[in-house]
A and B are shown apart, each in its own frame.
Chain A
Amino acid sequence: MSEGAIRTTARPVAADGAVGFLRRQWPWLATLAFAVVVPWFSYDWSTGRHSGFIVSMLSQIGISIVFALSYNMLMGQAGLLSFGHAVFLGLGGYVTAHVLNAAKGGAVPLPLELTPLAGALGGLGFAIVLGYFATKQRATAFAMITLGIGELITSCALMFQTFFGGEGGVSTNRMTGHSLFGLGYGAPIQVYYLIVAWTALSMVGMLFLSRTPLGRMANATRDNYERAQFVGYDPRMVRFFQFALSGLFAGIAGALYTLTYEIVTYDTVAGPMSANALLMTYIGGVGVFAGPVVGAVLIVLLQSWVSLLSNSWLVYAGVLFILMVTFAPMGLTGLVLMHQPIWRGGRMGRLVGPYLRLLVPALLVVLGFVLAVELCSFLTIGAAQGKSFTLSRITIDPRGAGAWLVAGLLLVGGGLWLRVAMHGFGVAWSAVTEDVKRAEVRA
């Protein structure tokens, strides 16, 4: 659902009852149902176990969704580019680990289901303290301060042994014996369902926040901070509250991380983790609420599946990021939403042909690029690992000229073809959008 699609009318929302709720929210409810059902596709009836790989990947998706959405509270909703958002995930995780250890010792009889609250409080607390400094500034200065905060906390994580556990991090055990439902949480699937519940709860919470006076004014200060001041708001306070609440949700993501992996190390507060939030949010799209959700799912899938197949998954993620920033700054959801007027105008059919003509050269370029990257990778890392490059039982020699020639041909030939096809597509696209506009004016 897009923010643009949110119709806020003077009449109370409840007026159209449960049917209206279902009609408006069915994509979310379907997603939730899918999340509940999907581990059972990997259930092995002979051993009575779920695939560990699938469950771990799904848990990772849930954590990433919360993390990316909390990042978008800054980036998309308030126009604040942060380079240190992992700090609040990590600190929430550390706090949760300590609370779990205390619960295990019997000091805090906190049911496991509620431990994400500890992460939330941790994230919130640190975001209040650090956000007080960061939110004094906006734009580039804000980005620089968050970068500094990220570096600061990362180095603290290696220095202060008692809280951060140094390089080894803090280990914990989620089987504390305290549960609201009498569950042991030894099996990853139980933790997965806990993650589903907290992810759903966090999503509702963040969607709610985006529709409050604070959320709206975050948008307003993003769009025009001078105008926001002249309607009475102090943009610094708006940024501060938004930052603190975003830290709260990042802390929940951190708690879920701790529950899943039962160890928190300094990686969780470090730069690459922050970059991950940026990557997921940007690729999914900052303009709509669902954007970071799409991005989180996609990046985790890339991370899990492509990293099984290839050493170079980060190269692909990086190139995808650059392509998105260059050609689709509103992300994947932005691309989809661009088609909305055409879809409503009933003219999607006229784009099928141009898209197909774009598809073939695009695939050739992708193929050429993947081949080139993999050849490089097998020449260097692959050789060191003693792997050989096989493609459907044909072994390819990365030192031979043949494969390189094919890759080069695909890249250059496909690239030239793609240029021509893109031009044709541009013409078709503007013809269709013009047509839709004219039809709208007539209506």
Chain B
Amino acid sequence: MSTPALRLTDVRKSFGSTAVIMGVSLEVAVGSRHAIIGPNGAGKTTLFNLISGRLPPHEINRRGLSRSFQVTSIFPRMTVFENIRCGLLWSQGYKYSFWQLVGGQRALNEAAARLLADVNLEARRDVPAGLLSYAEQRALEIGITIAGGANTILLDEPTAGMSRSEADHAVALIRRITAGKTLVMVEHDMSVVFDLADVVTVLVYGQVIASGPPAEIRANRAVQDAYLGAPAEVA
């Protein structure tokens, strides 16, 4: 097997005397879509924070990893276009330059316009991001996350708080713009998980109880007992 995009070996984390993650080992293959599911308090977001928090965030970014947050994290006072463009600046090599106008960078602006179209926000181009609807903000956040140029993308509950149709749109969007990249996501919505993921890992009380393709997880008795409760919910 080739080198995985992400490998966790016996990861542990305690807050005080409470062990939250108790020895998680996980491999995420390059180009796969990996979902981490589990009941509330299973440690999913903590695991995410451990993955993205091992180094200062800007160094994590430079190693090819980017993430979205459970609570929407955008640049609220800047326009939608500016949000996307700021997401692109570092990956396009602009660094801290103060001798060139952003408006004059043709390749940069074209890339930003393309990404804007990808996340279906062209019509909202010049609106301050803070004024977007919730679903639009989530889409924008995914856009910024992708813009960073990372090959491995962590999405923390990308469809949380969305209506059914908004979630369907979001799934289609995620599928389209993460093509060819490695995706790891935490998600509560089972239909999203089984729709999008190639591999599902079930985390309960800080431990992996099962990991495998969606169909296998669906049929797994331990998962049904420990997490999904009744098989009816899986459907």
Which residues on A are within 8 Å of B, measured CB to CB? 4, 6-10, 12-13, 208-209, 211-217, 219-220, 222-224, 226-234, 237-238, 241, 245
Contacts and interface: CB of A to CB of B under 8 A. Distances in A.
Given A10-B106, A13-B104, A230-B66, A213 B89 contact: yes
Contact of A216 (B56, B89, B113, B148): B89
Interface of B: 52, 56-58, 60-62, 66-67, 69, 73-79, 81-82, 85-87, 89-91, 94-104, 106, 109-110, 113, 126, 128, 144-145, 147-148
B61 A229 contact: yes
A12 B104 CA distance: 6
B75 A220 contact: yes
Contact of B128 (A4, A6, A12, A226): A4
Contacts of A230: 52, 57-58, 60-61, 66-67, 73, 145, 148
A10 B75 contact: no
A232 B103 CA distance: 20
A227 B75 contact: yes
9 contacts: A4-B79, A7-B126, A13-B104, A214-B98, A216-B82, A230-B61, A231-B147, A232-B90, A234-B56
A13 B87 CA distance: 22
Contacts of B126: 4, 7
Contacts of A228: 75, 86
A215 B98 contact: yes
B102 A229 contact: no
A212 B99 contact: yes
B62 A232 contact: yes
Contacts of B62: 232
A229 B69 CA distance: 13
A6 B103 CA distance: 10
User: What is the predominant secondary structure among interface residues of chain A facing chain B?
Assistant: helix
A233 B147 CA distance: 13
A223 B78 contact: yes
B96 A241 contact: yes
Contacts of B73: 224, 226-227, 230
B104 A232 contact: no
Contacts of A6: 103
Which of B81, B101, B147, B148 is packed against the most chain A CB atoms within 10 Å?
B101
A133 B56 CA distance: 19
Nearest to B111: A10
Contact of A220 (B52, B61, B78): B78
A6 B62 CA distance: 30
A211 B96 contact: no
Nearest to B110: A10
B85 A216 contact: yes
Nearest to A212: B98
A214 B96 contact: yes
A217 B86 contact: yes
A232 B97 CA distance: 14
A158 to B, nearest CB: 35
Nearest to A287: B77
Nearest to B154: A230
A231 B89 contact: yes
Given A227-B73, A231-B61, A234-B58, 12 more contacts: A4-B126, A10-B113, A13-B104, A212-B99, A212-B101, A213-B102, A215-B98, A217-B89, A219-B86, A223-B74, A233-B89, A238-B96
A219 B75 contact: yes
B133 to A, nearest CB: 14
A241 B98 contact: yes
Contacts of A223: 74-78
A209 B98 contact: yes
A224 B62 CA distance: 19
A227 B82 CA distance: 14
A234 B145 CA distance: 16
A80 to B, nearest CB: 15
B97 A212 contact: yes
B97 A231 contact: no
Contacts of B76: 223-224
A215 B113 CA distance: 20
B86 A216 contact: yes
A217 B98 CA distance: 10
Given A7-B126, A229-B56, A234-B58, A213 B98 contact: yes
